[in-house]
Amino acid sequence: MRIVVIGGGKMGSSLALSLIEEGHDVTVVDRNESVLQRSMDTMDAMFIKGSGVSANTLKEADVQHADILIAATMGDEINMLSCLTAKRLGAQYTIARIRDPEYLTSLPFLQKELSIDYAINPERATAREISRMLRFPFAGSIETFARGRVEMADFRAAEGDPVVGVPMREMYKKNRHLPQVLFCAVERDGEIIIPKGDFVIQPGDRVHVVSDVATITDFFIALGKGTTSIRSVIIMGGSRIAYYLASMLLGMKIKVSIIEINPEKARRLSEMLPGANIIQGDGTDQELLESEGLTDAHAFIPVSDRDEENLMSGFYAAQRGVKKVIVKSSRDNYSAIMHNMGLDSIISPKTVACNSILRTVRGRASRSYAAVERMYRLMEGKAEALEFIAEATADYIHVPLRDLSVTNDALIAVIVRDGQVMVPFGNDTIEAGDHVVVISRRTGLSSLDQVVKR
């Protein structure tokens, strides 16, 4: 597809690079020549200097023949006007990044009036992801499929865990007390492995398991990982993420404290969030953290604009024994460092937004019933977990899985049929309308037909 990306910053360049890797024809528009120059050195795309709201610039980018325009600048108004102008010029589909909380309540109206087909708020989406992670503090991350019926969770395997040192084919013979989940992926030494029957989990592996909600929860209880509920949270940094997250947590009856160093920002937060405890101070100050009850908090979430401060304060909280630490990081190269330091719950607004947009793009590219419903990137994009809905006319329908050809780099993890979740075996079939969850080391999949063939 022909895709125009307005804004060559962190999010825009990351999106453009992913879209190019998936075979799309990409044009990047930005007003800053130095930003464009940096992108020219790393990706094969067309680059145009100019404003996304300028009709002349958009015409130069051939937006009138674009399948999708993605407006991802730092300015909400620029993004909205870029979508409106692009649609008037002939772009088929428009996506806008809109971040300001003031636009939240009027967003449906703005989308309709400004011809925006899809709007993404990275900070709000990130806050929603964090709130879900807090509901399941026993895992590093939780991804949901099939309208919440299926969950994929990951945990760090430790010495003494019953799943360590046992071949997969013997896992439940030797651990009959463990609820049966599917071990769908393992991260080890920077690589991701789809485990087979002879695979053995080792201490330090990051293990991804998938099943229905109740079974996943029971599995972690049996594993001894615990499912303690979160009742009090300290948030470091009064960012937009902090505002959205605090609003959600207060609605869940969770006690919230926000530490913000800027007096004016702290004052505004106290007005916007009367139910939260707003503390004006430096969230990296260990004495302040201790005086505000860090060790008694059930969760600590640093979401300041400085990744280095988030990393160091998150590491300190983990060292002090806080049950759940979720660190916001915008830099992909920090993830390995954080994991090595024992911080498994890391979230990136850029990644959350890019995944959402890429899923939308793939759906537009496929234009079939079996297009991607949900998509999560694993291990910094080295693998993906995807949900498809099986198409009635596909040649894999009614055929036992043992008679189908599934690509070597993929695994059919779960099938959901009429609300019932099942881990499939050779005799099982895929039927029309089934929700099929796939784990794949090959990225860029947009249809179930690319995974399963007769």
pLDDT tens across 68-97, in order? 999 999 999 999 999 999 999 999 999 999
- Tell me which DSSP letter residue 60 carries: H
Sheet of 94-97, strands arranged across: 46-49, 25-30, 2-6, 68-71, 94-97, 118-120
* 16-20, 182-186, 288-292, 390-394, range with the lowest pLDDT: 390-394
Cα–Cα distance for residue pair 87/231, rounded to 1 Å: 46
The CATH H-level (homologous superfamily) assignment of domain 2-120 is NAD(P)-binding Rossmann-like Domain (3.40.50.720)
Q: Three-class SS string for 377-396?
A: EECCCCEEEEEEECCCCCCC
Answer whether residue 331 shows pLDDT above 70. Answer: yes
The torsion region of residue 73 among left (phi > 0), alpha (psi -120 to 50) and beta comes to beta
Per-domain boundaries in the chain: 2-120, 126-130+230-347, 141-223, 370-453
∠ CA 188-130-258, nearest 5°, is 125
The torsion region of residue 256 among left (phi > 0), alpha (psi -120 to 50) and beta comes to beta
Q: What does the pLDDT read at residue 325?
A: 93
Altogether, the residues listed in the chain come to a count of: 454
Answer whether residue 139 shows pLDDT above 80. Answer: no
CB atoms within 10 A of CB 138: 20
Instruction: Indicate the CATH number for domain 126-130+230-347.
Output: 3.40.50.720
pTM of the model: 0.77
Architecture of the domain defined by 141-223: 2-Layer Sandwich (3.30)
Transcribe 341-378 into DSSP letters: TT--EEE-HHHHHHHHHHHHHHHHHH-STTBEEEEEEE
Q: List all residues 6 or more positions away from 69 whose beta carbon is below 8 Å from its beta carbon.
A: 3, 4, 5, 6, 63, 82, 83, 86, 91, 93, 94, 95
Band of residue 232 on the pLDDT scale cut at 50, 70, 90: very high
Averaged pLDDT for residues 313-338 = 84
Cα–Cα distance for residue pair 56/62, rounded to 1 Å: 10
Q: What does the pLDDT read at residue 2?
A: 95
Q: List all residues 6 or more positions away from 214 whose beta carbon is below 8 Å from its beta carbon.
A: none
Phi, psi of 362 (to 5 degrees): -65, -40
Instruction: Indicate the CATH number for domain 370-453.
Output: 3.30.70.1450
Q: What does the pLDDT read at residue 371?
A: 65
Band of residue 334 on the pLDDT scale cut at 50, 70, 90: low
In the numeric block, the tokens 């600048």 are attached to 73
Cα–Cα distance for residue pair 60/51, rounded to 1 Å: 11
Q: Which amino acid is at 84?
A: L
Band of residue 442 on the pLDDT scale cut at 50, 70, 90: confident
Q: What does the pLDDT read at residue 227?
A: 58
Averaged pLDDT for residues 420-432 = 91
- The residues with which 233 forms a beta bridge, in sequence order, are 256, 299
Cα–Cα distance for residue pair 218/394, rounded to 1 Å: 36
**Fold match, 126-130+230-347 / 141-223:** no
* 148-157, 358-367, 422-431, range with the lowest pLDDT: 358-367
